[in-house]
Amino acid sequence: MSRLGFLRTPLLGLAFLVVQVYRAGHRKDLPSFENQDPSGVFGDPDYPRLRIAVLGDSSVTAPGVEPVDAAWPLSLARHLSDRYHVQVVSVAVGGSKTRDVLVDQVPAAIAAEPDIAFISVGANDALRATPLRRFEWEYRQILAGLTSHVPDVAVSGVGDLGSIPRLPELARSIVRIRSRSFDRAIRRAVADYPGVLKTNTWAAGFDEFRTNPTDVFAGDLFHASAYGHRIYTRAALTAVEELMASRRDGG
């Protein structure tokens, strides 16, 4: 068997991935950053209310992003504050998988009575060997819960996690394949919920995570930097603007 041949065996490949991700996460030569709370209020109180609940993992809680106002949920709110009195309520928790979002965050988001719920989860499932079928089932349950109580829902896809500089080179090919598979699972889930919008995290704008890692990643070489969150913001803003336009048009 070739050096990489064993990776073609699914169970061995996943076991290898788990070990490599664990080692990458415990490197002593790189800094560790705290999760943050990207909640806030923006805009004139006389403007129409727009409350956004954000669910997910560290792609929301923005470790290593300075200042926290550069985190995409708050940057998104600022972009919308010229028309709306925007309140961002983050219930996200760093390290979360879909199971955590389903059990803990969905009820908290519904309780906030938002106009829009925005989900950004899946990276930890892809990196930590969650079975794809279970991930897709749990994601569908998240959408079922939110769409039953929240007027509009948007979701972020799973981008190319193989671009993460902190991961060993051998692990990146597995991670890249799993990233694609998990992103497709989200797309399939969303297709069953008309009106839910998904960002395209494999679009050209996200290429910089691969081509410009120095700027796009924070000092821990794992999480997105403030520059990276600007890319997230552009994608999120496009989705939210489309939701609001559909609402105005009575869609």
Mean pLDDT of the 190-200 span: 96
Cα–Cα distances (Å) from 37 to 65, 92, 119, 186, 234, in that order, read 11, 8, 15, 25, 20
Mean pLDDT of the 208-212 span: 96
The pLDDT value recorded for residue 236 is 97
Model confidence at 11: pLDDT above 60: no
- Confidence class of residue 7 from pLDDT cuts 50, 70 and 90? very low
Model confidence at 1: pLDDT above 80: no
Mean pLDDT of the 201-224 span: 96
Q: Any idea where the domains of the chain sit in the sequence?
A: 5-248
The pLDDT value recorded for residue 247 is 75
The pLDDT value recorded for residue 170 is 79
Model confidence at 48: pLDDT above 50: yes
pLDDT tens-digit map of 158-194: 999 999 999 888 788 888 999 999 999 999 999 999 9
Two tokens, residue 124: 């930890």
CATH of domain 5-248: 3.40.50.1110
Q: DSSP secondary-structure letter at 53?
A: E
The pLDDT value recorded for residue 69 is 96
Rounded Cα distance between 64 and 70, Å, is: 11
The pLDDT value recorded for residue 249 is 74
The pLDDT value recorded for residue 98 is 98
Mean pLDDT of the 143-167 span: 96
- Asked if the peptide bond before residue 67 counts as cis, ω within 30 degrees of 0, the response is yes
Strand order from edge to edge, sheet including 40-42: 40-42, 85-90, 49-56, 116-120, 152-155, 197-198
The pLDDT value recorded for residue 31 is 87
Mean pLDDT of the 52-57 span: 98
- Confidence class of residue 45 from pLDDT cuts 50, 70 and 90? very high
Q: Mean pLDDT score of the chain, rounded to an integer?
A: 91
Rounded Cα distance between 62 and 216, Å, is: 13
- Confidence class of residue 145 from pLDDT cuts 50, 70 and 90? very high
Higher pLDDT, 75 or 170: 75
CB 187 within 8 A of CB 202: no
The pLDDT value recorded for residue 136 is 98
Mean pLDDT of the 62-72 span: 97
Q: Where are the alpha helices (DSSP H) in the chain?
A: 10-25, 58-61, 72-80, 98-100, 106-111, 123-127, 132-147, 169-191, 208-211, 213-216, 226-248
